[in-house]
């Protein structure tokens, strides 16, 4: 019985741990107006709606970043090298228009639990009501935005944490299955 309780506690602990908001990488050019609109939306809305989101900006005009950008364009199967290119979790987007905002939100929220999604919806309503007041009240509780240069290689921490999460989840399920299916050795 103790094993069963331990396995159940481990399983539910993993469910509480959950996966966070999908990270965003945006490839942009300083001279691109659509890039500025996308960056404005991300920095003034998404990082406040989803406080756990991490955003990395990559300037494709810096020669050190072009190789990574073209690899991303190829991986995303885009036919042109136009910017902005946004990689949100596992989804790729090219270009920016206001009607893409909900698609960006869905991509960020794909692995979130219902409570976190509800919080994001509340944050969005508050932003729609009075964005300046909401941002002023939440200056330290919004997602992070960083600029990547050639000296800062791309981090894989989110992928590693997702791997660990799913590995532990599988082990927990296997443990519960083992405890529930083994024969009672007490006679």
Q: Where are the domains of the chain?
A: 21-155
User: What is the C-alpha separation between 116 and 49, in angstroms, rounded?
Assistant: 10
pLDDT of residue 15: 45
Burial of 147 (0-12, 13-18, 19+ CB in 10 A): exposed
- CATH for 21-155 is 3.40.30.10
pLDDT of residue 100: 97
User: What is the C-alpha separation between 78 and 27, in angstroms, rounded?
Assistant: 13
Q: Is 58 helix (H, G, I), strand (E, B) or coil?
A: strand
Core vs surface per residue 169-179: b (16+ CB within 10 A) or e? beebeebbeeb
pLDDT of residue 37: 97
pLDDT of residue 1: 53
- Residue 95: is the preceding peptide bond cis (ω within 30°)? no
Given a cut of 70, the residues of the chain with pLDDT beneath it are: 1-19, 149-169, 171-172, 174-175, 177-187
pLDDT of residue 48: 94
pLDDT of residue 184: 56
Cα three-residue angle 166-170-174, rounded to 5 degrees: 170
Predicted model pTM: 0.71
């Amino acid at each position: 019985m103790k094993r069963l309780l331990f396995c159940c506690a481990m399983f539910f602990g993993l469910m509480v741990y959950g996966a966070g908001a999908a990270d965003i990488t945006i490839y942009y050019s300083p001279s691109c107006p659509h890039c500025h609109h996308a960056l404005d939306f991300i920095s003034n809305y998404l990082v406040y709606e989803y406080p756990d989101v991490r955003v990395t900006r990559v300037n494709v005009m810096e020669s050190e970043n072009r190789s990574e950008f073209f690899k991303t364009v190829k991986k995303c199967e885009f036919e042109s090298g136009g910017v902005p290119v946004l990689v949100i979790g596992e989804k790729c987007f090219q270009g920016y228009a206001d009607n893409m905002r909900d698609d960006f939100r869905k991509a960020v929220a794909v692995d979130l639990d219902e409570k976190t999604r509800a919080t994001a919806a509340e944050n969005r309503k508050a932003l729609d009501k009075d964005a300046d007041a909401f941002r002023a009240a939440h200056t330290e509780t919004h997602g992070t935005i960083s600029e990547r240069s050639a000296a800062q290689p791309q981090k894989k921490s989110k992928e590693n944490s997702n791997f660990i999460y799913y590995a532990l989840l599988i082990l927990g399920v296997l443990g519960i299955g083992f405890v529930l299916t083994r024969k009672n050795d007490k006679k």
